[in-house]
Amino acid sequence: MVINERGLALIKEFEGYRSTPYRDPAGIWTIGYGSTYDKEGRRLTGEHSPVSRDEATVLLKIGVGSAERSVSRLITAPLNENQFSALVSFTYNVGGGSLQRSTMRMLLNRLEYDNAADEFSKWRKVGGRVLPGLVRRRAAEQAFFLSRPEDKNATDDPHERRRADGHVSYVLRILRALMGRGAAR
């Protein structure tokens, strides 16, 4: 399986584009759409040359390929395309090693999808600090994970559709509440 277009758009939205190297909140050299390696697989440094949007997209696809392989290797539970794509976005951001050690992976592999989805929100800190951007990203990944794929292969089971739609509505209500509280502070 490969990431779908909505998943790729989610990564691009939250990573943003930067043509020159910068240190992310964890202090890791990054460029383009959150890439930490160059085309040859070497770790980025501050001396890396600027990249165009097209070059950044190539680097993104290399990194996404690595995240796809990690998700495919580590998750044995059946996944729909939105679940897979949400997990690829998550793994692109935190790394395959973090997915491997996560409670989320263990719950998924025990087919505890709802409990696994609840784990997204726990991955919101860098260096012990909660980052608002990660809170928003994890809420978006969780809602995407719980959403029903819109392709012809999607299930027509009304119970499953109602459950997923209910989760998405619940997550969006929480996100709106958090955003409202954050704006008041």
**Phi/psi at 150 (5° precision):** -100, 20
Runs of H (alpha helix) within the chain: 5-15, 53-74, 81-94, 96-101, 103-109, 113-118, 132-146, 158-184
Strands 129-130 and 125-126: antiparallel
- Active-site residue, 15 included: yes
Which of 5, 13, 15, 112 is an active site residue?
Answer: 15
The whole-angstrom separation of Cα 181 and Cα 185 is 7
Q: At what angle do helices 81-94 and 5-15 cross, to 10 degrees?
A: 30
Show which residues are catalytic.
15
